[in-house]
Structure 1
Amino acid sequence: MTKHLLLGQTLTFTSDPFENDWSDVAHINTSGGVLVEDGQIVGVDDGAALRAQHPDAIVTDYGQDLISAGFVDAHMHYPQTGIIASWGKQLIDWLNTYTFPEESRFGDRAFADDVAGRTLDLALAHGTTTLTSYCTIHPESVDAFFEAAAKRNMAVVAGKTCMDRNAPDTLKDTSQSAYDDSKRLLKKWDGTGRARYAITPRFSPTSTPEQLQALGALWAENPNVLMQTHMSEQKPEIAWVKELFPDARDYLDTYERFGLLGENGLYGHCIHLEQREIDRFAEVGAAVVHCPTSNTFIGSGLFDIAGLKARGIRTGLATDTGGGSSFSMLRTMAAAYEIGQLRGNVLHPAQLLWLATEGSASALKAQGQIGHLGVGASADITVLNLKSTEVIEQRANRAEHAWDAIFPTIMMGDDRAIREVWVAGEMVSWRAPSPVDFA
């Protein structure tokens, strides 16, 4: 098989920089190399040493660009690509005004195919090699997303969104159809190529107890698959949940009592948590997902990453497109930094990059497989130009150390900072999405 040797500055992690001193576990080799063969990373070392050991490898020299694991987006909504950056709403009004009308269109397979391909290409253009997406209630939307990802050989997670109340009739399924459709799609897609399925109740306000129970039963039958949902995003939402489930101890209990709390659970947002909920997440080993651009854009609140990580809770990072206002994980890292500042917790750039790669991979129970620049991982790689714009370059030129040169790209970078993307060991060329009529 052909070997590829990528030369540049390499960023690797040996452990979680929230649990250990970042300077001990985050490593930048300013003359590093990554050896890729048969879709996997087979060597990470000094570039000169790898070049001497593998003279037959095809060499790509990125100079002082930063070679990182590909970004992993742990929570987003591909059907909301067309409504990203819509004005003036908070959660419930956002759903009713923008999300539900748009998602009603995804029973049209041709439309779903177009948006799925567009979303994945936009992600690649921003250095994201794995998306974790909610689809719509339509099975066609699930097939469209997984097939588009397979064409690009991308590792993705997705599932049919299930709702049987508090939604338009065009977006309602039933307890039985949610179970049946999800089971069929799970069997079809989970483990097919690089695809993984996630059982996906949108959130407890849009599912009856009967539907939540049916999906909990499906998860009990397939405990190794992921389950994704939303929780404690905004205070009016939490009050609504208390009205709908008056006997529940708290928001998490609306999932827990139906078998929807577990180690393979992904709980998006989780901003306004009660102490019992934090304790239960820590006890069962569930993962939460930080969606900072969404939380600021629709006015949800400030995620307590320091407090949750101090409890050992696995935490991923996500764009939450289209409630999130950018496809860029760089912009998402910048927003996480800003929220940390507002909470009195300054995140180091090593922690931010770890969240966007290793942290999100861990949340997806895929640590060491994706989001990891190490031997045995899939060769999903993003190369960052650390001088992509004039303002970034002039700041980087004044850097006193490597992290000082990286931080301006985190705070001000966008798709122009993405020098190259590799997916499963192949350099990819994403098409520039052309204008499309979403009306």
Structure 2
Amino acid sequence: MQRLRADFPLLDQTVNDEPLAYLDSGATAQRPSSVLDAERVFLETINSAVHRGAHTLAGLATEAFEDARATVAGFVGASVDEIVWTANATDALNLVAYGFANATHGRGGAPARRFALRPGDEIVLTEAEHHANLVPWQELAATTGAVLRFVPVDDDGVWSADDLIALLGDRTRIVAFAHVSNVTGQIAEVERLVEAAHAVDALVVLDACQSAPHRPLDLPALGVDFAAFSGHKMLGPTGIGVLYGRAELLDALPPFKTGGSMITTVTLEGSEYLPSPQRFEAGTQPVSQAVALAEAVRYLEAVGLDRIRVHEETLAERLVAGLAAVPGVRVVGPPAGVARSGLASFVVDGVHAHDVGQYLDASGIAVRVGHHCAQPLHRRLGVAATTRASTYLFSTEAEVDRLLDGVAGVRAYFGVEGSER
């Protein structure tokens, strides 16, 4: 662990005169030196526009750009034509939703008709979704007349595969859910849900933002139709995300961002588009970011995704058990003993999450506070906000223990010990 942590320059610092304990990787992970170096070397030596130049640097940049696509494709078991570069995961999910909308409005011709929605068609989501996997579907429903149906969560914020399957029917067209919840750490039964959705001829969209960085992921083997994840949560840079789609679906889905680089022919009257993935990559691309993301993938593969998963799940058990033992603290999500990803969100009775975060920050402990872009879930839980501690491959048991010691002192500091739940 000491050798691994030495790869991450940002971790070697103090915050408020205390050693930094970075427990906010669920929001943005830190980058190892090799990733920082990969982007810098690209920018210093071959930075150039891709797919459009005849000079040497343009050719080298294009090769690096497409090699990065191949690396990321291999990371999730996909082929290169199934990986689309996006600005982030939110952008990727919007790409799919607006592709459905364009198909509904007649764009894309006969191949796109499979995506067209009719009034009364159903989009199945869960109450636990990140806004990025909720708001685009709200917009799609509003413009097509489709109906949103929601899988309920229980008092701990957990939903069941049985409840989702019970909502599926002849009118179900889209099923969208997170592989791993960014609030509760719940891990979805993806393969079972995909089988049930496909049985009613629905397409499955997977939010893989909290799974791709933390556990082995083979998207074709899972059977999902589309999936999205982001670079900055998996040791890579901001400004780049990934959309996975089955090749035959991507080639049929109408694009919603248009312009240069994604066309074959343009006249004053109309345009024709390239096949996937270029048909979705209009304009100047995040080239250095793609190169850096590929290096992040190589780093993760060198460490081993199975090792990372086991390490984080062990830390999660320590987190949940320790938080549950603190009087006046409520942990949301799966109970102790049930598998979850390496994060835990919690409520401290009588103290707002923002105050909890500031108290911990004074001791050099970085956590996330707020509704984590999941307002409906927090509303169902009856709280305005939670505090979330999220671990990664570089997190240690000592950092978890520092967090637990800090949380144990919150209520006394704010003078609310003994208050009722």
Under TM normalisation by the shorter chain, which class is it? under 0.3
Larger Rg, first or second structure (1 or 2): 2
Return the TM-score normalized by structure 2.
0.27
The answer to which structure, 1 or 2, has the higher relative contact order (CA under 8 A, 6+ apart) is 2
Question: 1 or 2, which has the higher strand percentage?
Answer: 1
